[in-house]
Structures are given as structure tokens and as C-alpha cells.
């Protein structure tokens, strides 16, 4: 969290990932912000320390910016409550992925879209979780479930270690492309490799 006090009219960014080993780098990448808050916690409820700090910090005239609706809330009730609280205090709420901004002066169609998009995101998450559970149970019953395999092993892992240790600033986006992994996976490897060094 940035500690500088933000006067009214500024842009407040909120990022969230579910676990400590996930990276938030892709969220709000390239978005101009005056202050940022970040939680590494489940979105199952709104009692997240940095979310609460961000909500408390927001003032009339500010814009509260989040990568997507599912990063702000995991269910429709929480999503509507948070958006209603902010817009009711004169804070605009912007979702980058959905390309939507809510101001509290929205027409009924905008309110409907918030509910529809939020409900869709919640439904999609529940389907993904159900498919994962079913797949794991089937694999376990066949005795083939061994958990997730590492993306890189052996020589490729050593090559990545060497690239990460090169002098000068490493272009993480290009490095992820070179090794065919996501930036989140790359940052996870970086943490692991640096810890072992």
C-alpha cells in the first residue's frame, strides 16, 4: 500500500489475488493511479484488510479502480453492496476488464448490467470450481492424480535461473514469452530461485 494521503479527485487502485504465491502484476498494468491497495486473500467476503483500507480512504470525487468485478467481490451481494456504498459517497467505480464505470447517477440499464455481469462472473467461478473438483476426483479414483506439474524442469529451469541473474534490468514480459509461461508463473519461479540462491 502506498502511504501518501490522497486528496479528493484522485484515482485509487485495488488489486487482489487469492494466494500468497500469485502475482498481481497484470492487474491494472499501465493504469495511472495515485494510490494502490493490494490484498493476497480469498474474495469470499469483503473483510480484507486492504479492501477495507481502500474503502475507508475513498472520498467524494475519487475514482475507485479495479481490474475486474471478480477481483472486488466473489458474489453478487457483496459486489452490489460495495459499489452502492462507494457511489453513494460520490466515488466513481471503474472496472477495467468489463469496461464499465458506475457513478451513482447511472440509469436503470447500467444497474441491470452490474447485476448481470456480477451474476455471470459468480456463476462462471462456480462452474470452474465444480469442473476442477470433478476432474480431481476422477483422477484420484484412477490413481493418477499427482497434483500440478512444474512448468519448467532441468535445463530449462537452469536457463531461467541464469537469465534472472543477468546484470541489468530483466524484461519480465519478454522472459515469460521466451519460456512459454505466464508472468505470474515467472514471478513464482523468481521467488523460489532467489530463495534457494
Residues recognised as catalytic: 18
3-state secondary structure 118-143: HHHHHHHHHHHHHHHHHHHHHHHHCC
Residue closest to 92 by CA, chosen among 56, 63, 52? 63
Residue 18 and residue 22: Cα distance in Å, rounded? 7
Helices (H), the chain: 49-57, 69-72, 76-88, 108-141, 154-164, 172-179, 183-196
Residue 64 and residue 13: Cα distance in Å, rounded? 6
Residue closest to 93 by CA, chosen among 71, 75, 120? 71
**Contacts with 144 (C-beta within 8 Å, 6 or more apart), sequence order:** none
CA geometry: angle 32, 82, 55, nearest 5 deg: 55
**From the DSSP assignment, how many helices (H) and strands (E) are in the chain?**
7, 5
Amino acid at each position: 500500500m502506498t502511504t501518501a494521503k490522497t486528496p479528493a479527485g484522485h484515482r485509487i487502485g485495488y488489486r487482489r489475488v487469492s494466494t500468497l504465491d500469485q502475482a498481481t502484476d497484470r492487474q491494472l498494468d499501465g493504469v495511472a493511479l495515485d494510490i494502490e491497495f493490494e490484498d493476497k486473500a480469498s474474495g469470499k467476503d469483503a473483510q480484507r484488510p486492504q479492501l477495507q483500507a481502500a474503502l475507508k480512504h475513498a472520498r467524494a470525487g475519487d475514482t475507485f479502480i479495479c481490474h475486474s468485478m471478480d477481483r472486488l467481490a466473489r458474489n453478487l451481494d457483496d459486489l452490489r453492496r460495495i459499489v452502492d456504498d462507494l457511489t453513494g459517497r460520490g466515488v466513481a467505480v471503474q472496472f477495467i476488464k468489463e469496461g464499465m464505470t458506475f457513478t451513482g447517477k447511472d440509469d436503470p440499464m447500467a444497474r441491470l448490467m452490474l447485476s448481470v455481469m456480477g451474476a455471470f462472473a459468480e456463476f462462471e467461478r462456480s462452474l470452474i470450481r465444480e469442473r476442477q473438483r470433478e476432474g480431481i476426483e476422477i483422477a484420484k479414483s484412477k490413481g493418477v492424480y499427482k497434483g500440478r506439474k512444474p512448468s519448467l524442469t532441468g535445463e530449462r529451469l537452469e536457463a531461467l535461473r541464469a537469465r534472472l541473474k543477468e546484470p541489468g534490468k530483466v524484461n519480465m514480459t519478454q522472459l515469460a514469452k521466451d519460456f512459454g509461461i505466464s508472468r505470474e508463473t515467472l514471478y513464482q519461479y523468481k521467488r523460489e530461485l532467489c530463495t534457494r540462491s
